[in-house]
Structures are given as structure tokens and as C-alpha cells.
């Protein structure tokens, strides 16, 4: 019976957003207007980056609420696809859609938005009062009424103030407005920073905790793009929320103030604002559609650039620089065209809104004239408040459009986290002190249902023994390594350690006792000692030096400038292939493992480096369990047994001397290598 991780893996392949219980389908973040032709032309050169899903579903928390999406009702960019039972505000408002997507990354956002909203109400009334006092004071001084202000308007007629008092009160209101603006800016900045930090943390943590199936499928550059550009766009989404809340409640305060002066003018402006918002609705939908396409093209372009950096040497020596240049130009042009259209929609929206709203102000003026308002001050105050309300209405419209553009980025981040967390590894709980023997009992594994990668493997290795594994390319050797390392889990059969099922043991304990030397060692940016220690802070300098000595690298390190403190890795001093391989072996040995697995340890090495690696392996013989995947038969000269893998099955298992006579594959390999059989 395959453990839970494999069930999760299958679910992630078939429908990454499938959940237990009630199931909710999320439409494409781009809505129904996503252009297939644009995607197809881009797809000729680039594949769509993973993590930008066409649909998604949100897992429930223990209390029944959805960790991503709040109420669990259908959400999506296209209202027609959102479902009949969805909340119409959630389906139609980009701001509310972005709020639903941002909530998992801003756990304190509800309280912080409440503070912003209350401060916006205070600042709205403060500026309304200051503007009203400014108009009344100006009119009073112009009339030469001795500096006495008499309130005008339907509700504030009883107001009686002297000009100096009105000026002081106005200054106090302006001070209150400034103080509330500082509060709003401070909270907004903190919310944006926290959202970006949380997105980065959740993405990286989810990736590190995901199964090897999902980690190995992650395209180069995609996670980097999500943790950089996409996290910044998510942070911008929080800023749009805060801006929208500030504008909304400032507008609310100005409307109430306008009601106190003239209800008719207020009714006209409010009705007109609703009408203008409805007229601009198609613009929001189109903006969201274009933004979704732009986000996909940007992510694919980031993956392309990462691949170019990784393959720079091959691109040059194969003489395909011009072709790659052409592909980059095409990808840049297509992404640029999508960006131009999105930016055009974002730019044109405020202008259209402002034009409509200015026209609305003139309509409101006509309504006021029909109401026969005789007070000049009241008329001026109403006009100023309407114009000021127009600015906040414009901010609301910009917040709507900005949110529409950012929604695809929020959905991409959320979908990637859900995808990674759907394949979270199920850890064991048993302690593992050391490994005395490992065994496979009829173990089979397949990547798909058509052909097994490994089939009915049976073998056992004990402490002190060395097992060599050979076979043609595609025989399943790398898959065997991944099963031994518990990166993948067998479909059928049993993998046992010390007689117990391997999945029962804690992964932390397992990886403390098992070391791995890959075919292509990777360096981190840091010192030689940092690379041997490899984030294992409990490894002392003494163990580092000892591991380097056993790996026959200590003498070379001591000869380098800086010795163990020399900076190596990306962008620093480089090492030869043999030095990297020996450093990787020292890294494995520094943890004092019970079992060491080596995948083609001498592949691509010169004769001297190969000899050093073989000496290092010979020094380990008899102390640990060794599993060596090799093409060079000379690497297997001290192995107790050799396993021949062909088409995923063990075709031979025995000593080198025995198999050189009985195994056709090994006999031919010996002949081709022109090496004597080692008895």
C-alpha cells in the first residue's frame, strides 16, 4: 500500500486543487477573454511556467473555513463562471477578489484595515470641516461682515464663529487630517512588507517540504520569479486594498458632510458615481484578462532567462547564440506587447473616470441651481466637496483597476503554494540510531501506468558491504538511488531498514545516517568549510578537516589561498570537476553516515582525480554500507557484489568474478573497457 505522499502526488498530477469534502472549482484568473492564439505562439518557444494554474481549489482548515479564499464560495475572474451560489460582490469586485486571495498572507489585515478605515473616516470629516470653514471664512472676509461666520446649508445654519476661531479650528482639523494620513501610511507600509515576507516564506517553506515529485518538476527560474516579482505584486495588492479602503471611507465622510450642506447635490453625485462605475465595468474585466496573460508571459520569460544562464556554455559552443537571441527577442516582444496593453488600460481608466466625473459635477451644479440655493458659501462648499469626492472616487477606480491587474499574480502564488503543499511528505516518527542493513522486497515503481521504471527488486546490503550497480542508460539506476534516499516511494513492495519499513523512520534521522554523492555536485556561495558543512551547524571544524583528509582533498585545500576559508561557489573561485567531486565526498563523510550512496562518482573525471576518488572509496570499505552507481568498471573493483539492472529488473546479482562469466552485459562491458576481471 503506497503511503499518503503518493496519494497526494497522484492527486496533484490529475487535479492539483482537488480537496476532501465539498469541492470548489475556480475559473481561470484571466476570465474568459484569455487568448489562445497568444498562448500558442508563445508556447512554440516556451512552456507555460508551473504554478500559474488554469483552475484551483482551496483546502479547508480544521474549522471548515478555507485557508485560501475565506468563505469557500466560487471565485473567479469571469463572473459568469463563478457559480450561481457565489456572493455577487465577491464575484464582481476586483478589490474583494484580491482581498480573498490576500487574506492567507496577511493574518492581521482585518484589524489593520479596520484601523485604516476608521482613520480615513476621521480624516475625511477633518478635511470636509476644514474645507467648509475655509469657504465660509473667505466669504465672510469678502463680505466685510466683521469676521463673523454664519453657517449656511440645510443643517449647519446655527453655526456662529469668529474668523480667528474658524481659522484655529481649521488648522486643528488639518492637523488631525495629517496625523491620520501618517497612521494610514505607516500601517499600509507594514501590511505590504508583511505580505511580501509571508509570500516568500510560504513559497520557500512549501517547496522545501514538498515531495521530490514536485521539487524535481519545478522549472528553473519559476520559484525565483514567484518569490521576487510575484511577491512584490502581491505586496502591491495589499497597497491597493489599503488605498481603496482609505478612498472609500474618505469619500463616505465627504458624502455625509455634503448631506449636511445640500442633500440634493449629494444624491446626484452618489447616483452618478454608481452609474460611472457600472459604465467602466467592462474596462476592469478586460484589464484583468490582459494582466493574467501578462503574468504568464513574464513568468515564462524569467524561466527562459534562467535556462540561458544555466546553458551559456552549450549555447556558445553549439553556435546557437543567434537563434537564442532571436527567441529572446520574440519572447520579449510578446511580453512587451502584453505589458503595453495592460499599462494602456491602467492609464486610460483614470482619464475616462475623471472626464465622466467632471461632467457629473456640472450636472450636480445644475441640480443645485434648480434647488434655488441662495447662499454663496454653501454653493462653494458643495462644489469643493464634490470635487474632492471626485478625487477619492478616482482613487477607488484606480484601486479597482490595480487590483484587477494584480489578481492573476495573487492567484499564481496561491496556486503554487497549494500545489506544493498537496504533495507534502508524510514523515515517520521512529528514531534511527544507525543503519545495519537495508533490503528491498519485490519493490516496483513506475512514473506512469504504461511501463514500470523498476520491477520486483529483491536484494539486501549489510554494514561494511559495498554494492555496485551497473546497467545501460535508462535501466532505472537513478530511480533506485531515489528510492533508497526516500525521495520517491515504491508503488508496491517493501523498503526496509534494520528490518522495519523505511517510511516509519524520521526523515531527519534517516538523512543523518545516509549520505549522497551526486553525479554533478553543486556548490553554495561560501567558504570551502561552509560547502563541506552544508548548513549542518553541528559539524565541527575538526570533522570538516577529517572528512577532507579521508576524501584526499585536505592537501589541495591547504595549498589554496585562504585554505578552508577560501570563497567558492557561484560568482567566486571555481573548482575543477575532480575537486568538486572530492569536496562532495567530504561533504557526505562529514556527517559520519552509516550508508553512503554514490551516483557515478568518477564520471567525467581525469585519471588522477578518478584515482583519488577510488582511494577514498577504498578507505570507506568495511565501515559503511556503500551503494555505487557506476559506468566505469574500475570504480567497482572493491565491491562485494555487483547488481546488473536492465529495463528496470535485476538481471544479475553476484561477485565481479562470477558475473563476468554469467552476465552478458557485464562480460561485454569488461571487454569494451579492456580491464582485467577483479577477483
Picking from 598, 664, 586, 589, the residue whose alpha carbon sits closest to that of residue 628 is 598
Q: Is the pLDDT of residue 489 over 50?
A: yes
CA dihedral sign of residues 477, 481, 482, 484:
positive
pLDDT recorded at residue 492: 94
- What is the enclosing helix (H) or strand (E) of 444? strand 437-445
DSSP 261: H
pLDDT recorded at residue 650: 94
Task: Specify which of 215-219, 361-365, 418-422, 613-617 reaches the highest per-range mean pLDDT.
Answer: 418-422
pLDDT recorded at residue 144: 62
Lowest mean pLDDT among 79-93, 329-343, 514-528: 79-93
Q: What's the whole-number average pLDDT of the chain?
A: 75
Q: Is the pLDDT of residue 88 over 90?
A: no
Q: Is the pLDDT of residue 600 over 70?
A: yes
- 182 or 283: which leads in pLDDT: 182
Q: Quick one: pLDDT band at residue 522, thresholds 50, 70, 90?
A: confident
Q: Is the pLDDT of residue 74 over 60?
A: no
pLDDT recorded at residue 455: 94
pLDDT recorded at residue 513: 93
Is the Cβ–Cβ distance between 515 and 588 less than 8 Å? yes
- Which residues, in sequence order, are CB contacts of 672 under 8 Å at separation 6+? none
Beta strands in 73-151 (DSSP E): 148-150
Fold of 103-422: ABC transporter transmembrane region fold (1.20.1560)
- What are 409-459's pLDDT values in tens digits? 888 899 989 998 888 887 889 999 999 999 999 999 999 877 899 999 999
Q: Is the pLDDT of residue 82 over 50?
A: no
Report how far residue 183's alpha carbon sits from residue 194's, in angstroms, rounded to the nearest whole number: 17
| Annotated domain spans of the chain | 103-422, 437-673
Picking from 17, 435, 13, the residue whose alpha carbon sits closest to that of residue 211 is 13
Picking from 591, 593, 594, the residue whose alpha carbon sits closest to that of residue 539 is 591
pLDDT recorded at residue 675: 44
pLDDT recorded at residue 32: 35
The average pLDDT across 7-30 equals 34
Report how far residue 122's alpha carbon sits from residue 47's, in angstroms, rounded to the nearest whole number: 51
Fold of 437-673: Rossmann fold (3.40.50)
pLDDT recorded at residue 504: 93
469 bridge partner residues: 629, 643
Beta strands in 530-670 (DSSP E): 567-568, 595-599, 625-629, 641-646, 649-654
Report how far residue 460's alpha carbon sits from residue 436's, in angstroms, rounded to the nearest whole number: 11
Lowest mean pLDDT among 74-78, 389-393, 489-493, 515-519: 74-78
The average pLDDT across 132-148 equals 67
Residue 25 φ/ψ region, left for φ over 0, alpha for ψ in the -120 to 50 degree band, beta for the rest: beta
Report how far residue 138's alpha carbon sits from residue 149's, in angstroms, rounded to the nearest whole number: 10
- 372 or 516: which leads in pLDDT: 516
pLDDT recorded at residue 576: 83
- In order of 10, 57, 419, the CA distances from 207 in angstroms are 17, 19, 10
Lowest mean pLDDT among 131-140, 165-174, 252-261, 627-636: 131-140
Is the Cβ–Cβ distance between 292 and 30 less than 8 Å? yes
- What are 161-214's pLDDT values in tens digits? 677 787 788 889 888 988 998 998 899 988 988 898 899 899 988 888 888 888
- What is the enclosing helix (H) or strand (E) of 514? strand 514-517
pTM, full prediction: 0.71
pLDDT recorded at residue 630: 82
Report how far residue 551's alpha carbon sits from residue 553's, in angstroms, rounded to the nearest whole number: 5
- State the residue for C-alpha cell 582511494: 615
Is the Cβ–Cβ distance between 297 and 381 less than 8 Å? no
Phi, psi (deg, nearest 5) at residue 181: -65, -40
SS3 of residue 281 by DSSP: helix
Query: For the packed helices 376-422 and 4-14, what is the interaxial angle rounded to 10 degrees?
Result: 130
Amino acid at each position: 500500500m503506497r503511503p499518503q505522499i503518493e496519494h497526494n502526488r497522484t492527486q496533484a498530477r490529475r487535479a492539483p486543487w482537488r480537496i476532501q469534502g465539498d469541492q470548489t472549482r475556480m475559473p481561470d484568473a484571466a476570465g474568459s477573454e484569455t487568448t489562445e492564439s497568444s498562448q500558442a505562439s508563445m508556447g512554440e518557444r516556451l512552456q507555460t511556467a508551473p504554478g500559474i494554474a488554469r483552475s484551483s481549489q482551496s483546502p479547508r482548515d480544521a474549522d471548515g473555513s478555507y485557508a485560501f479564499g475565506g468563505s469557500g464560495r466560487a471565485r473567479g475572474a469571469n463572473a459568469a463562471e463563478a457559480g450561481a451560489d457565489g456572493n455577487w460582490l465577491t464575484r464582481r469586485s476586483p478589490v474583494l477578489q484580491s482581498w480573498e486571495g490576500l487574506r492567507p498572507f496577511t493574518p492581521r489585515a482585518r484589524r489593520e484595515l479596520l484601523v485604516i478605515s476608521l482613520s480615513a473616516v476621521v480624516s475625511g470629516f477633518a478635511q470636509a470641516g476644514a474645507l467648509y470653514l475655509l469657504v465660509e471664512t473667505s466669504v465672510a472676509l469678502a463680505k466685510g461682515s466683521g469676521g463673523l461666520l454664519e453657517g449656511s446649508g440645510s443643517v449647519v445654519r446655527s453655526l456662529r464663529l469668529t474668523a480667528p476661531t474658524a481659522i484655529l479650528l481649521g488648522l486643528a482639523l488639518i492637523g488631525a487630517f495629517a496625523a491620520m494620513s501618517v497612521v494610514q501610511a505607516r500601517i499600509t507600509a507594514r501590511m505590504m512588507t508583511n505580505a511580501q515576507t509571508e509570500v516568500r516564506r510560504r513559497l520557500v517553506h512549501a517547496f522545501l517540504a514538498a515531495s521530490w515529485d514536485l521539487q524535481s518538476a519545478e522549472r528553473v527560474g519559476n520559484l525565483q520569479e514567484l518569490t521576487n516579482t510575484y511577491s512584490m505584486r502581491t505586496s502591491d495588492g495589499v497597497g491597493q486594498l489599503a488605498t481603496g479602503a482609505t478612498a472609500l471611507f474618505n469619500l463616505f465622510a465627504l458624502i455625509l458632510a455634503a448631506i449636511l450642506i445640500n442633500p440634493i447635490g449629494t444624491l446626484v453625485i452618489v447616483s452618478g458615481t454608481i452609474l460611472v462605475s457600472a459604465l467602466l465595468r467592462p474596462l476592469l474585466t478586460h484589464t484583468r484578462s490582459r494582466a493574467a496573460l501578462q503574468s504568464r508571459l513574464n513568468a515564462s520569460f524569467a524561466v527562459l532567462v534562467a535556462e540561458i544562464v544555466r546553458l551559456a556554455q552549450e549555447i556558445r559552443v553549439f553556435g546557437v547564440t543567434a537563434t537564442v537571441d532571436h527567441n529572446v527577442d520574440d519572447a520579449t516582444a510578446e511580453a512587451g506587447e502584453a505589458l503595453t496593453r495592460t499599462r494602456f488600460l491602467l492609464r486610460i481608466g483614470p482619464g475616462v473616470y475623471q472626464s465622466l466625473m467632471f461632467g457629473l459635477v456640472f450636472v450636480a451644479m445644475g441640480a443645485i441651481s434648480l434647488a434655488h440655493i441662495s447662499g454663496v458659501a454653501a454653493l462653494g462648499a458643495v462644489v469643493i466637496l464634490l470635487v474632492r469626492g471626485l478625487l477619492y472616487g478616482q482613487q477607488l477606480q484606480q484601486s479597482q483597476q490595480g487590483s484587477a491587474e494584480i489578481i492573476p499574480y495573487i492567484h499564481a502564488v496561491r496556486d503554487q503554494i497549494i500545489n506544493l503543499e498537496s504533495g507534502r511528505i508524510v514523515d515517520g516518527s521512529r528514531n534511527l540510531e544507525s543503519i545495519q542493513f537495508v533490503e528491498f522486497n519485490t519493490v516496483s515503481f513506475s512514473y506512469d501506468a504504461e511501463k514500470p521504471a523498476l520491477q520486483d527488486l529483491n536484494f539486501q546490503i549489510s554494514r561494511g558491504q559495498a554494492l555496485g550497480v551497473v546497467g545501460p542508460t535508462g535501466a532505472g539506476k537513478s530511480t533506485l538511488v531515489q528510492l533508497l534516499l526516500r525521495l520517491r516511494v515504491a508503488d508496491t513492495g517493501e523498503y526496509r531498514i534494520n528490518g522495519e519499513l523505511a517510511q516509519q523512520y524520521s526523515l531527519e534521522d534517516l538523512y543523518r545516517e545516509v549520505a549522497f554523492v551526486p553525479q554533478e555536485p553543486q556548490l553554495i556561495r561560501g567558504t570551502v568549510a561552509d560547502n563541506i558543512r552544508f548548513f549542518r551547524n553541528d559539524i565541527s571544524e575538526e570533522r570538516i578537516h577529517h572528512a577532507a583528509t579521508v576524501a584526499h582533498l585536505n592537501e589541495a585545500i591547504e595549498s589554496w589561498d585562504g585554505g578552508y576559508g577560501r570563497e567558492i561557489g557561484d560568482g567566486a573561485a571555481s573548482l575543477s570537476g575532480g575537486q568538486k567531486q572530492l569536496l562532495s565526498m567530504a561533504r557526505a563523510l562529514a556527517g559520519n553516515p552509516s550508508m553512503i550512496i554514490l551516483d557515478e562518482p568518477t564520471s567525467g573525471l581525469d585519471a588522477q582525480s578518478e584515482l583519488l576518488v577510488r582511494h577514498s572509496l577504498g578507505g570507506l570499505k568495511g565501515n559503511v554500507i556503500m551503494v555505487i552507481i557506476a559506468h566505469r568498471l574500475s570504480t567497482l573493483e572493491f565491491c562485494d557484489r555487483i547488481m546488473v539492472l536492465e529495463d528496470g529488473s535485476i538481471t544479475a546479482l553476484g561477485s565481479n568474478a562470477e558475473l563476468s562469466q554469467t552476465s552478458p552485459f557485464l562480460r561485454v562491458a569488461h571487454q569494451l573497457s579492456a580491464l582485467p576481471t577483479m577477483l
